[in-house]
Amino acid sequence: MNREQFFQELRTALHREGFTPQPEQDELLPVEWDGLPLCRITADGGVRYWQVDVATPERERACERATDLACTVREYMTLLEQAPPLQAQSLTGDYRLLADFNGAVLAAHPTRLGVQFVTWDWSFDRTGLNQGNYFQENYAGAKQDFAIRAGLISKQQIFNQEQLIEIYRCCSDTLDAGYDLTAEQEKCIRGVQEQIAIAAPDALERIREQEQHPMEPYNQEPIM
């Protein structure tokens, strides 16, 4: 994989998430968060850091998020480098075919704002495309949509962001309510939370934001 292209795309992804990438040093990409050094990312997507730079839970989570971003960008940039052009009627621009299965297509579109992703269905005997779902930079969302459209997984097996947030919150409420849980039950509930945190870090971040800025209850004045 081309290191320069990987770091360029990774800088874009990191900026979107609030990180501050620094100029490349010794074939490593230094990353700052909240104005302080956080970690350094290697050309193959590995992450190096000093323990002092992740000494708080917030900074540790930030480093985990940077690690996730590096892995994700490395995955799709590797695919993009090997992907053939996507050719179809009325399709213009640079689109690369990342996956093609059971009549569904997953494509990547390099732009100056970063790589963007879209899924389509083949039509007209595989000469045209229709039913496009555009995911901008959301690679995970595009992959999931492709898997559903291609019949690899059922839509009923997937929880959306709002559902994951409510599941996580219900787990927290159960753990905080003082119920007489067995050790096995508590372990199971915490495992669900950990799985959501790993699989959907965006949902977890939204939960934290909502906890910091709770909505005030709505009180309606009685109508006389």
37 assigned to some structural domain: yes
Do residue 90 and residue 151 come from a single domain?
yes
Distance, CA of 131 to chain centre: 23
Q: In this predicted structure, what is the pLDDT of residue 208?
A: 74
Of 24-33, 89-98, 106-115, 212-221, where does mean pLDDT reach its minimum?
Answer: 212-221
47 occurs within a structural domain? yes
Query: Does 1 or 24 have the greater pLDDT score?
Result: 24
In a domain, 77, yes or no: yes
What percent of the chain stands above pLDDT 90? 77
In a domain, residue 115? The reply is: yes
Q: Are residues 142 and 125 in the same domain?
A: yes
Domain boundary among 47, 81, 115: 81
Crossing angle of helices 139-149 and 57-82, in 10° steps, is 60
Domain termination residue (choose one: 35, 65, 81): 81
Task: Give the residue from 21, 53, 14, 48 showing the smallest Cα distance to 37.
Answer: 53
Q: What is the reported pTM?
A: 0.78
176 shares a domain with 119 = no
Question: Does 69 or 157 have the greater pLDDT score?
Answer: 69
Q: Give 115-146 pLDDT, tens digit per residue.
A: 999 999 999 999 999 999 999 999 999 999 99
Answer with the one of 155, 174, 193 that is the final residue of a domain. 155
Residues 131 and 182 occupy one common structural domain: no
Into how many domains does the chain fold? 3
pLDDT band for position 213 (cuts 50, 70, 90): low
Same domain, 150 and 98: yes
* Shared domain check, 10 and 70: yes
| Residue 217 belongs to a domain | no
Predicted pLDDT of residue 1: 79
Please give the mean pLDDT across all residues of the chain.
Answer: 90
Phi (first) and psi of residue 60, to 5 degrees: -65, -40
Asked whether residue 40 is domain-assigned, the answer is yes
21 & 90 share domain = no
* Residue 17 pLDDT > 50: yes
Confidence of residue 151 (pLDDT cuts 50, 70, 90): very high
| pLDDT for residue 214 | 61
Q: Is residue 220 part of a domain?
A: no
Domain that holds residue 204: 161-212
Q: What is the CATH number of the domain that holds 16?
A: 3.30.310
The answer for residues whose C-beta is within 8 angstroms of residue 26's C-beta and 6 or more apart is none
Say whether pLDDT at 224 is over 60: no
Cα separation of 181 and 81, whole Å? 51
Length of the chain: 224
- pLDDT reported for residue 216: 55
